[in-house]
Amino acid sequence: MSNKQKVNAKSLLHHAYEVMMLLKKEEIGVEDAKAHAHLLKQSNNILKYELDRAIAIQKYDGINIRNIEDAE
């Protein structure tokens, strides 16, 4: 998958709204909506981790935190 897109809270909320509208129009089923909700929850957890990591780096100057984003 080569299509990389930046994710932020605003884009997650927008996606959640779109999924709710599709569910309301019955264009997707409940199981599909549940799957989207699970992915949104996981994405939100990653954003929270990134925020906590940034706070830790600022708070504890010189802390050595492994950069997992560069490892492939």
- Percent above pLDDT 90 for the chain: 38
When comparing pLDDT for 70 and 6, which is higher?
6
Window from 27-36, 39-48, 62-71 with minimum mean pLDDT:
62-71
Contact (CB, 8 A) for 22 and 28: yes
pTM: 0.66
Per the structure block, which two tokens stand in for 31?
């199981």
Confidence at residue 1, expressed as pLDDT on a 0 to 100 scale: 43
Per the structure block, which two tokens stand in for 66?
């492994």
